Structure formats: structure tokens, C-alpha cells
């Protein structure tokens, strides 16, 4: 099965480093970042999980819960977490799924046979409070993720979920945004009173409305 943007994220119950969880119960009314790793005790994954832990306050202020996955068992996760905490100077405070059966990996399309038939690639899903998949990124095993980009995309997704805007290339939180084309130019002042500028009839900018 291969998930696509807009699909409902599959629910599951699984053992994790923090005990058994039901994914939907864990998510609650929060946004969720679900991301997979090829295996425990691998160097790039160690840095990624450490970076995730160091950004816990950033995820929390965005109402985002984090949950990781690898196909290794819980006891291996526990030992690996100790290594992560020691080497990355953090405290891993989010669950890591022990997906030994590969049930979750298969449901989310995390196994790419041309990369590996037994291990997950570095897949990452951002899931909204309605349990809809809003973002999918897959990285090869050799390349660590850019977590500032992940935070940037979450900022964009949360902004555009609440306002009739889109974010341009390289946008950062606080910068101008694009008014969506479904809004007529003559209607922009009433919807975006901070002002706007028209570059082309289809390209209209306005200050970020929630700042």
C-alpha cells in the first residue's frame, strides 16, 4: 500500500519504547510527525533522533507529537535510546515503535524493495488532527533529514489550513504569503486588511495574516 497526500493515515496498535499504544489515541487532537528508520544503532538515525529530542519544545509549541519507527524489537530500542541520550546530550521523550512484523511499515509504504526488502527507508509523514496525511518525504539511508525544513513545512501547513493563503518558495514564518487564486483581487482588502501587492493577476502577496 502506498499512501498519498490527503489520504487518511491508517490507525494501528503497536508496542513501543513507551509501552503499547493506539496511534489515534496517541495523536488525539494534535498534529503528528511519524518517521521511520532503517534500523537501530545506525549512525545517521542516532543523530536524527537526537535532533528530534532537542527540538521537543519547538514541536510542542506547534501542537505536534512525534513518534518514530524501526523494525527492531523494544529491548533493542531501549538500549539504543541510552546511546542516543549519551552521545547527543538529549533525553528521548517520544515513543519508538517496534515494528517487527512490519505491519505499520507496510501500511504506510515505508519499505521500498529496490532500496531494501527488509528495512524501512527514511519516510516521514506529517498528519493533521483529522488524521489526514498532509506531507510525505522519503530520504535514502545515506542522507539525514533537515529538521528545520520539517518545522518550516509544519508552519506552512498550519497557516494554510486556517487562511486562504499559500507559501512561496523558501518561505519562512513571518514572511509575506500568496493569496490563493480562488479569492478575487477586489475581495483581498476585506479578507486581508494588512494590505497586499499585485505582481501579476495570479500572483498576489499579503503579510502573513496570523502575525
In a domain, 197, yes or no: yes
Label the pairing between strands 96-98 and 64-70.
parallel
Same domain, 46 and 125: yes
CATH of the domain at 195: 3.30.1020.10
In a domain, 151, yes or no: no
Supply the range of the domain harboring residue 105: 13-145
The pTM is what?
0.92
Task: Give the tens place of pLDDT for each residue, 66-95.
Answer: 999 998 999 999 999 999 999 999 999 999
Is the pLDDT assigned to residue 37 strictly greater than 70? yes
- What's residue 109's pLDDT? 85
In a domain, 131, yes or no: yes
Same domain, 198 and 128: no
Residue 3: closest CA among 137, 96, 164: 137
Q: Is 103 a catalytic residue?
A: no
In a domain, 42, yes or no: yes
Mean of pLDDT values over 43-56: 96
In a domain, 155, yes or no: no
- What's residue 168's pLDDT? 98
Q: Which one from 3, 27, 45, 71 is the annotated catalytic residue?
A: 45
Is the pLDDT assigned to residue 163 strictly greater than 90? yes
Q: Which pLDDT band holds residue 118 (cuts at 50, 70, 90)?
A: very low
Is the pLDDT assigned to residue 120 strictly greater than 70? no
Amino acid at each position: 500500500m502506498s499512501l498519498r497526500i490527503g489520504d487518511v493515515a491508517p490507525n494501528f496498535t503497536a508496542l513501543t519504547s513507551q509501552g503499547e499504544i493506539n496511534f489515534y489515541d496517541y495523536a488525539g487532537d494534535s498534529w503528528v510527525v511519524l518517521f521511520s528508520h532503517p534500523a537501530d544503532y545506525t549512525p545517521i538515525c542516532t543523530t536524527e533522533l537526537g535532533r528530534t529530542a532537542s527540538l521537543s519544545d519547538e514541536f510542542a509549541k506547534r501542537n505536534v507529537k512525534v513518534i518514530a519507527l524501526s523494525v527492531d524489537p523494544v529491548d533493542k530500542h531501549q538500549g539504543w535510546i541510552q546511546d542516543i541520550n549519551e552521545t547527543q546530550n538529549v533525553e528521548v521523550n517520544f515513543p519508538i515503535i517496534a515494528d517487527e512484523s512490519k505491519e505499520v511499515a507496510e501500511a504506510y509504504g515505508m519499505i521500498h524493495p529496490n532500496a531494501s526488502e527488509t528495512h524501512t527507508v527514511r519516510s516521514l509523514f506529517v498528519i493533521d488532527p483529522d488524521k489526514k496525511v498532509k506531507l510525505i518525504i522519503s530520504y535514502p539511508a545515506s542522507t539525514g533529514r533537515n529538521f528545520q525544513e520539517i518545522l518550516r513545512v509544519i508552519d506552512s501547513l498550519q497557516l494554510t489550513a486556517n487562511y486562504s493563503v499559500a507559501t512561496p518558495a523558501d518561505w519562512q514564518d513571518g514572511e509575506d504569503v500568496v493569496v490563493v487564486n480562488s479569492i478575487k483581487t477586489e475581495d483581498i482588502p476585506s479578507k486581508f486588511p494588512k494590505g497586499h501587492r499585485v505582481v501579476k493577476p495570479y500572483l498576489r502577496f499579503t503579510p502573513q495574516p496570523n502575525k
